[in-house]
Amino acid sequence: MKQAVKANREQQSEEILKHNKLSVTDSRKFILAFFLQQKGAISHGDIEKKAADRFDRVTIYRTLQTFVDRGLVHTIPTADNSIRYALCKDDCGKGEHHDHHIHFICDKCRQTFCLDDVVTPEIRLPRGYSAGHVEVVVEGVCKDCR
């Protein structure tokens, strides 16, 4: 059963890469499949732990950067100035992220979640200012840790 699920994630990863006109490489397939099995956002270090015996740190970094550039994943800043990554929804694309949702960081388990149903509030800036990106991060206790 586990083998079938793994094969399905790998096939899904391959389809996503092809759909986004990206070369299907072992590192891209592996990292994308890893994203597909997560319920929250992950860090470079999380991927590195899982793939340390297969890919070096630079390959992981370049793969993540390609995924961000192509709209497959988006970045989430954290309180400790690190970055976590989460899969984008279908409407993101090359150079365009439309993930206007709130990110939630659990104080207990430290997982980061995309709250897709909670839309980022409209921000009205003073005259002469123009927002390029709005990031809302909420910290608290997730439903699993309550």
- Supply the DSSP string of 118-130, one letter for each residue: EEPPP--PPTT--
For 2-140, CATH number? 1.10.10.10
- Mark out the alpha helices in the chain (DSSP H runs): 2-19, 26-36, 44-51, 57-69
Compute the distance between CA of residue 41 and CA of residue 43 in angstroms, rounded to an integer.
7
Q: What is the pLDDT along the chain (146 residues), one digit of tens a residue?
A: 566 556 687 888 999 899 889 999 999 999 999 999 988 889 999 999 998 889 999 999 999 999 998 888 888 877 777 888 988 876 655 555 556 678 888 889 888 887 878 777 788 899 999 887 777 888 899 999 98
pTM to 2 decimal places: 0.76
Q: Are 55 and 25 in contact (CB under 8 A)?
A: no
Q: Where are the domains of the chain?
A: 2-140
